Amino acid sequence: MSKFWSPFVKDLVPYVPGEQPKLSKLVKLNTNENPYGPSPKAVAAMQAEVNDNLRLYPDPNSDRLKQAVADYYGVQTSQVFVGNGSDEVLAHAFHGLFQHGAPLLFPDISYSFYPVYCGLYGIEYQQVALDEQFQIRVEDYARPNAGIIFPNPNAPTGCLLPLDAVERLLQGSPDSVVLVDEAYIDFGGQTAIALVDKYPNLLVTQTLSKSRSLAGLRVGIAVGHPDLIEALERIKNSFNSYPLDRIAIAGAAAAFEDRDYFEKTCQQVIDSREAVVAGLQGLGFEVLPSAANFVFARHPGKDAAELAAGLREQGVIVRHFKQQRIAQFLRITIGTPEQNQALLDALRGL
Ligand SMILES: Cc1ncc(COP(=O)(O)O)c(C=O)c1O
């Protein structure tokens, strides 16, 4: 606290990201990164951008990337927004779309950045309880709201809301924006982008940090009606004209263009997830059904915080949230088969 701060700064409760340890030997299963590297074509495209042209500003509109996303999803470039990680895209959406004199609704267990953005932008919100099986109950969202946001699959549970239920949510709140945060959709769900032409109140965000293995590059996208995209563009152009640098634009576009590599590596993660689920169940864990690149699991006879600490002693890090309802769960990112084996071996001894 300092006299130089604007008054609201002292009340901010910032987001706490998962640990990025400096030790390289650890089996790092705590922040849902992809165990496989990005597309070699994306790496080559980024390397080709490291040249004299870096003295010039990048394209403020990232047209090449928007075109690659539009081609991939069969939409118009006017329906696409891109930003510095989906966190930035989400921030602009909170700022530009969710202030309408009623609360924003999101699940009681979901991405912990949502209440942080509400704090930053002064947005009123209500958390809607997931049911006993940690699923979203669509009927619970039929109440006055300034918008609805949820991750699909949900984080940190990994549970998927089927597309027909997403559509019911959209129909239930036609006068407010429904934002589907699809950070993990490529690991087992169907994207709601298929619905954007039908529902002008639908905004879908995705990230290149997970299924396209570019967490270090910081690129996220949004797809929706051009009017929603224009709101995001207005905010972006009032904040930072160049959120994506030349390297990010080239690498992200190439990653969207390399479908084969993307599909192959997603399938590898999905196959490994099924093996991890079986391994955990074999050790007595209860595992929620996951459509993501992580699983959410609890052991009826073992304390989650102690398990996380025991794993850490053996060089395996997973995520544990000291939060009501989920304090006995561990969120475990799917790694390579070797990493997954190391996790199961370490758990066997605890
Ligand atoms: C649900 C959800 N949304 C958004 C993000 C942000 O992703 P990024 O800013 O890396 O694009 C994450 C990251 O973990 C997430 O879990």
Mention every residue, 6+ apart, whose C-beta is less than 8 A from residue 124. 102, 103, 104, 118, 146
Tokens of 42: 């994306």
Q: Count other C-beta atoms under 10 Å from residue 324's C-beta.
A: 8
Residue 214's pLDDT band, with cuts at 50, 70 and 90, is very high
Span from the CA of 220 to the centroid of ligand 1 (angstroms): 9
Q: Is 215 in the pocket of ligand 1 (CB under 6 A)?
A: yes
Question: What are 253-270's pLDDT values in tens digits?
Answer: 999 999 999 999 999 999
Residue 225's pLDDT band, with cuts at 50, 70 and 90, is very high
Span from the CA of 333 to the centroid of ligand 1 (angstroms): 14
Q: Which residue has the tokens 């709101």?
A: 231
Q: Is 151 in the pocket of ligand 1 (CB under 6 A)?
A: yes
Q: What are the structural domain ranges in the chain?
A: 9-37+260-348, 40-258
Question: What are 105-153's pLDDT values in tens digits?
Answer: 999 999 999 999 999 999 999 999 999 999 999 999 999 999 999 999 9
Question: Atom 2 (ligand 1): residue with closest C-alpha?
Answer: 183
Q: Does residue 23 carry a pLDDT above 80? A: no
Encoded amino acid at 89, one letter: V
Percentage of the chain lying above the pLDDT 70 cut:
100
Question: Would you say domain 40-258 falls under CATH 3.40.640.10?
Answer: yes
d(CA 30, CA 32): 6
Q: Does residue 7 carry a pLDDT above 80? A: yes
Q: How buried is 168 (Cβ within 10 angstroms: 0-12 exposed, 13-18 middle, 19+ buried)?
A: middle
Q: Does residue 38 carry a pLDDT above 90? A: yes
Q: Does residue 16 carry a pLDDT above 90? A: no
Q: Is 180 in the pocket of ligand 1 (CB under 6 A)?
A: no
Atom of ligand 1 nearest to the CA of 86: 11
- Mean pLDDT over 57-84 rounds to 98
Predicted pLDDT at 54: 98
Atom of ligand 1 nearest to the CA of 215: 10
The domain 9-37+260-348 is placed in CATH, from the list 3.90.1150.10, 3.10.20.600, 3.90.1170.40, 3.60.10.10, at: 3.90.1150.10
- Mean pLDDT over 43-69 rounds to 98
Q: Nearest 5°: phi and psi at 7?
A: -55, -40
Q: Does residue 22 carry a pLDDT above 80? A: no
Question: What are 324-350's pLDDT values in tens digits?
Answer: 999 999 999 999 999 999 999 999 999
d(CA 309, CA 330): 11
Q: Does residue 174 carry a pLDDT above 90? A: yes
Span from the CA of 87 to the centroid of ligand 1 (angstroms): 6
Q: Nearest 5°: phi and psi at 285?
A: -80, 150
Predicted pLDDT at 100: 94
Residue 19's pLDDT band, with cuts at 50, 70 and 90, is confident
Residue 20's pLDDT band, with cuts at 50, 70 and 90, is confident
Atom of ligand 1 nearest to the CA of 87: 9
Predicted pLDDT at 17: 84
Q: Is 85 in the pocket of ligand 1 (CB under 6 A)?
A: yes
Span from the CA of 245 to the centroid of ligand 1 (angstroms): 19
Residue 309's pLDDT band, with cuts at 50, 70 and 90, is very high
d(CA 122, CA 281): 43
Q: Which of 18-22, 79-83, 154-158 has the lowest mean pLDDT?
A: 18-22
Predicted pLDDT at 147: 98
Are 230 and 219 in contact by the 8 Å Cβ rule? The answer is no
pTM (global) more than 0.95: yes
d(CA 104, CA 177): 10
Q: Does residue 5 carry a pLDDT above 80? A: yes
